[in-house]
Structure 1
Amino acid sequence: MTDKQGTPDQLPAEKGQGGAGVTYQLAVFEFENFRGKKVEFSGECKDVMEKMQKVGSIIVESGPWVGYERPGFAGAQFVLEKGEYPRWSTWTNCLDSYSLSSFKLLKVDSADHKLHLFENAVFEGRMMEIVDDDVPSIWAYGFQDRVASAKAINGTWVGYMYPGYRGPQYVFEHGDFKHWNDWGANAPQIQSVRRVRDMQWHKRGCYIATTPTPPNPAPAPAPAPCPQSKPNP
């Protein structure tokens, strides 16, 4: 059984969004596996529920974007980079959030990345500097999980409550965040961070595929010794 689809709704970008020469394109589908009604966006959307009842799958043609749990860019955040998201579990591993209701463009205006994390609010206490790197566990770098303020000096970042890029997500665009409420958190806890890397500089998006090194060929087995013939008695 296939879902009949007409011409998808197209929502244009507002003037000045994304910066000069940068295009954004995102398509949302009502059901999983890219089925049902389709709506395309090239600019922010404050309430996708005005166009469809729910979001079951997503295709990001170009971006990056950030989706929000509730209308008006509120609630849990979900970073969406170029690629396909056939079901909700592909854009989040947080079991508390099942819905997407609004979308906003993420501006990535620098190929360089620098982030400062602070132990206390208003940039006080211990400080950790991260430069051009992804950190799956800030504990491994000798920093605690309490992060109460931050400065995104270069690039755009996403922080996670738990190690290994798991749990609620928090977006850090260029600017100062004096308190954890400024990035939408209810507690001063971040345990992993990574860069949001745009196609303009990183053609494969955030995760760069590496070519596997071919294994060394196994040595040829030594030839079996020829059996010696025994003389007839």
Structure 2
Amino acid sequence: MSKIIIYEHFNFEGISREFTSSVSNLVQENFNDCISSLKVIGNPWVTYSGVNFSGTQEVYEEGEYARVEHNDSISSLEMVTEDLTDPQITLYEHVDYQGRSIVLKNETNLCHGSFNDIASSHKVQRGAWVLYEHVDRHGAKIVARASRDVPNYGGFNDQLSHVCPLKPGKPTITAEVLWDKKEENVKSVILDSICGLNHGESEQRFSTELCREYEGSVTDNFSFSNATEITMGTSFSVNVEMMKGSNNLSLSNTFTVEKGSSNTRTEKKCVQISLPATIPPRSKLTVNVVRKELDVKVPVKLTITTGSHSREEFGEYRCQSGNSITTEYKEDKI
């Protein structure tokens, strides 16, 4: 969720307020003209020196700002709700969208081309932009938004030199494991087989130690769809919890996934198995140490939320669990 946290003093000190939607009048929130620092989470926010989103504008993308541009002079806050992932703006040479035009899709220093200091109107097709009077994001500015075309810059005519699209905040990803669509396979593997013979007429103690340790393991793996648009370095958690079913096996853990890194994890542990202490008269006792190996593949629905926009993708979680180690006994008369 996109939100802004505003503070009364510099360095995030003093009284604070948190908002998740635009505020047209900070007087009503008892926080007018007193903001000195702020934090933004998610999509950018625009601050205004006047109420009802009027006056001098400043834009704050996701991050922490120990000092704001205009201390103690903010009266309204507006959250940027546009989809910022694929921006596009058209600049026009004259007012009312006349004359030459140029289409931009990324940050541009107009001093390097033929459109410097000549724009007088614009239309935003996608996203939100900041138009600057000088290069390197300096001087007077205009915040340009989709569906808010500006036919006349007025005093800003023929002064535009730098254009920059606003960036979306870091996406948040929630993962839903679709257990009803899982594929499951279980097989039994004999790890050890121990035999004891008793030819006598009375019980005998088992000829080997009473317990042994065996190594089990659980391997988690997550794979993204080939068409994923999730960027490198993005991480999220997959909460895995499958209760015991017909195979009497269960999984329960939280698996952290990061795009661009190895998404395989193996955990090993020793399992101690107790063996019988005695063998009946005239009997052969065979003890098989058996590991049940569970292989589960299940689709995972990923909901990627950027600002106020969400989309869905799918991946696959796979777990190979071999921690269930038991003993099976077979007794034969001799």
Q: What's the counterpart of residue 105 of structure 1?
A: 79
Q: Are the structure 2 counterparts of residues 147 and 79 from structure 1 closer, same or farther at C-alpha, using a change threshold of 3 Å?
A: same
CA distance in 2, matches of 1:203, 1:42: 27
- CA distance in 1: counterparts of 2:121 and 2:136, whole angstroms: 21
Q: Measure, in 2, the Cα distance between the counterparts of 1:123 and 1:82.
A: 32
Provide the C-alpha distance between the structure 2 equivalents of 1:24 and 1:47, rounded to a whole number of angstroms.
19
State the shift of 1:146 in Å: 2.5
| Residues 81-138 of structure 1 deviation map (CA, whole Å, 9 limit, x = unaligned) | 110111124xx7xxxx86211101112225212111111011111212212x111x21
Partners in 1 of 2:85 and 2:93 — Cα distance?
27
User: Taking every aligned residue pair, what percent have the same amino acid on both sides?
Assistant: 25
The 5 Å alignment of 1:75-154 reads 75-89=55-69, 99-131=73-105, 133-135=106-108, 137-154=109-126
* TM, length-normalised to structure 2: 0.47
| SS of corresponding position for 1:197 | coil
Specify the alignment match of 2:41 in structure 1: 61
Relative distance call for 1:187 and 1:62 in structure 2 (3 A) is same
Unmatched segments (≥5 aa) in structure 2: 172-229, 234-334
Aligned partners of 2:35 and 2:72 also within 8 Å = no
For 1:126 and 1:98, the matched residues in 2 are separated by 41
Partner of 2:174: none
Alignment pair present for 1:192 and 2:162: yes
The answer to whether structure 1 residue 42 and structure 2 residue 12 are counterparts is no
- The TM-score normalised by the length of structure 1 is 0.67
Higher relative helix content: 1
Distance 1:38 1:117 in 2: 39
Aligned residue pairs total: 170
Matching residue's letter, 2:13: R
Once residues 41 and 162 of structure 2 are traced to their aligned partners in structure 1, the CA distance between those partners, rounded to angstroms, is 27
Aligned pair partner of 1:52 in 31, 38, 52: 31
* Distance in 2 between residues matched to 1:100 and 1:202, nearest whole Å: 35
2:153 pairs, out of 169, 180, 198, with 180
How many angstroms does 1:44 deviate by? 0.8
Aligned partners of 1:108 and 1:198 also within 8 Å: no
User: Who wins on radius of gyration, i.e. which is larger?
Assistant: 2
Aligned residue for 1:229? none
In the alignment, the residues of structure 1 paired with residue 99 and residue 41 of structure 2 have an alpha-carbon distance, to the nearest angstrom, of 41
Cα deviation digits, residues 153-184 of structure 1 (max 9, x gap): 12211111111111222111113321225xxx
* Cα-Cα RMSD: 2.2
Aligned-pair distance for 1:49?
A: 3.5
Partners of 1:74 and 1:177 in 2: how far apart? 15
Contact residue 108 and residue 196 of structure 1 kept, 8 A? no
Partner of 1:213: none
What stretches of structure 1 of length at least 5 have no aligned partner?
Answer: 1-22, 205-233
